[in-house]
Structure 1
Amino acid sequence: MTFSTAFAFNDVGQEQAEAVSSLQARGVVSGIDAEHFAPKEKVSYGQSVQMIVKALNLNLDTIRFVKQPLATDYYTHVANDAWYADAFIIAHYNGLEIPKDANPHAAITREQFGDLLIRALEKKGNFPMIKMYININDNDQINPLYQGEMQRLLLFKITALDSGGNFNPKQELTRGEAATWVYNASQIVDKFAQKPPAAVEQVAVTVEKVTDDVNKVTLTREEKPNAGYGIAITGIRFGQDGQAVVTYTLTNPDPDSMNAAVITKAAASAYIASNYKAVAEPDASASGSN
């Protein structure tokens, strides 16, 4: 993040600059003009839903509709041609439980925004969180339906209590605060995003008769582009079910090594009694296994 990007808006303080500039770069938020973000202005319900849905990439990708859903199917005051209409539809199908009569032009309170944000965040996965109770001095002012969500909002460090230990749940949220909360939530998603499991390389098992009592078992890797790839048998477990589990490790060439550029199939062999059926299994205890 460059200095010019962080302070593209001249009315954004340093404590909110990173959040605002990051969300602006992603197209999640925009200013009221080229130089002003108006961070102290109240954020509307419609702006809030749009911001949360877009920042956390909620979508309808896995849903198939018989007919196109319309905002008016679910909300009394959300016009179908409103710029935030799609966000309300996406929020509905992602279980954010927005009231049917929600006014998209009205200001949103801290507890309302926090509830929507936590519900949206938890749709993205199960994220690690220290389980403890945070004492909120004005907890009696929080809607009982939101109290659990406000605890999680604080435990995830999406926001914090004020200097007096209060959450101020009924206070209307500002644009700068909303951007900061949403940015912090998106950072959690980015940090703990589940990566797809690495593909497991297939190892072929072939059995060759040596004698009536002994078989030669060979494990062979897939074709590789050079001779730097290897396979080693690390052990054999003989089970009562008649299986001989041949464990192995795979080694790959060092990026700086020089190897002959020739198609190879690395192989390793062992001998077992012919009354056992050989199966291959990666050696989970070996650091070099794939």
Structure 2
Amino acid sequence: MRNKNRTRILAAAAAAGLLLSAVPAYAFSDITDSKQAAIVQSLQDKGLIQGVSASKFAPNAKLTNAQAVQLIVDAIGLETAKKKTDAPPWFLSVPQDAWYAGALKTALERGVVIDGTWDANGVPTRQQFAKLLYLGLLQKGNYANVSKYTSIADAKQIAAKNRVAVEYLLMTKVAALDSKKNFRPTAAITRMEAAEMIYHAERMVNKSYASSDKATVTYKVENVDPNFNKVTLTRGNLPGAGHGLKIRRIEFVSDTEAVITYVPTSPPSGGSGTTYPASAVAYVPVVYDITVKAE
């Protein structure tokens, strides 16, 4: 049923000039950056995004609200989120045969808060898109919560209601600042910028760059001396005595990024053997940005 719906949606979108036929890898003449081309190809292979013609992707074109909702719902599989409530009354004013109606209904039912001023053809800003994506991710799993402040040069331009969402996406590396440490929150998000965030969000959901279903884990980064940061992982909502948390490994995946992998632990059968506390600590050189994920 989902495949039939996806086919119908893509066909309708193509007819509206929104998403058109797929093309081979690196075939878009208007994408010259190899990393961006690889991101678009990956999303295209998964049926999440398409070009605007056989040879053009239009990376700098503005995304619409309808396209944003469709991307987020599809990329993170929002229809499988646990929460489900009735769509708000204002949804009845949306044309029910619109190509985006199904995705919008899913987003509203699964906890993504969108008010009645929503306009399908409107253009979301980067911070507005970040907020929608953040709300969608929250419905999909118990991801590691970050309590490390990011230095954002244009932070004053971020609305207070969107600040947590922006910080979250930056800390989980779903989004990134530019070379001048700006997020450009009030700029309209482009197709390429949305594709980049969606690419990393989809990987976060589908490749376990977050907590397992069995544990909710937060982590805190503290600078303890000029050379090292202390990273404290804490498991919450423990189901009982003996349940804990263990750091499995620390990988320095580049000159600037370290990945800490943990595993939730359960009490040993028979009541004997090693048990682990509900928190674990690691020390990482300050030159590394830190990502925490479940094994």
Please say if 1:169 is aligned against 2:185.
Answer: yes
Residue by residue over 1:21-60, the C-alpha shift from the partner in whole angstroms, topping out at 9 and shown as x without a partner, is 1111111111112221111100101000000000111116
1:285 is displaced (CA, Å) by 4.0
Structure-2-length-normalised TM-score: 0.60
What SS is found at the alignment partner of 2:175?
A: coil
| Aligned equivalent of 2:226 | none
| Aligned equivalent of 1:134 | 150
**Among candidates 138, 143, 149, match of residue 122 of structure 1:** 138
Separation in 2 of the partners of 1:61 and 1:158? 19
1:94 is displaced (CA, Å) by 1.2
Check whether the contact 2:30–2:59 (CA below 8 A) recurs between aligned residues: yes
| Aligned equivalent of 1:6 | 25
- Kindly, what percent of the aligned residue pairs are identical? 36
Q: Where in structure 2 are there 5+ consecutive unaligned residues?
A: 1-22, 215-268, 275-295
Check whether the contact 1:76–1:101 (CA below 8 A) recurs between aligned residues: no
Q: Where in structure 1 are there 5+ consecutive unaligned residues?
A: 198-280
Instruction: State how many pairs are aligned.
Output: 197
Identify if the C-alpha distance between structure 1 residues 195 and 159 changes in structure 2 by more than 3 Å, giving closer, same or farther: closer
1:5 is displaced (CA, Å) by 4.5
Separation in 1 of the partners of 2:25 and 2:211? 29
Q: CA RMSD in A?
A: 2.8
| Aligned equivalent of 2:112 | 96
Letter in structure 1 aligned against 2:121: H
Please say if 1:190 is aligned against 2:210.
Answer: no
Check whether the contact 2:70–2:100 (CA below 8 A) recurs between aligned residues: yes
Identify if the C-alpha distance between structure 1 residues 72 and 155 changes in structure 2 by more than 3 Å, giving closer, same or farther: closer
Identify if the C-alpha distance between structure 1 residues 147 and 62 changes in structure 2 by more than 3 Å, giving closer, same or farther: closer
Structure-1-length-normalised TM-score: 0.61
Residue by residue over 1:120-173, the C-alpha shift from the partner in whole angstroms, topping out at 9 and shown as x without a partner, is 112111223542001212111111100111111110111211222221111000
Please say if 1:46 is aligned against 2:62.
Answer: no
What SS is found at the alignment partner of 1:11?
A: coil
1:63 is displaced (CA, Å) by 7.9
Separation in 1 of the partners of 2:183 and 2:52? 28
Q: Which has the larger radius of gyration?
A: 1
| Aligned equivalent of 1:29 | 49
Separation in 1 of the partners of 2:112 and 2:120? 15
Within 5 Å, give how 1:1-290 maps onto structure 2. Answer: 5-12=24-31, 13-59=33-79, 73-75=89-91, 78-192=94-208, 281=269, 285=273
Letter in structure 2 aligned against 1:183: Y
Check whether the contact 1:111–1:170 (CA below 8 A) recurs between aligned residues: yes
Check whether the contact 1:29–1:51 (CA below 8 A) recurs between aligned residues: yes
- Larger relative helix fraction: 2
Check whether the contact 1:9–1:37 (CA below 8 A) recurs between aligned residues: yes
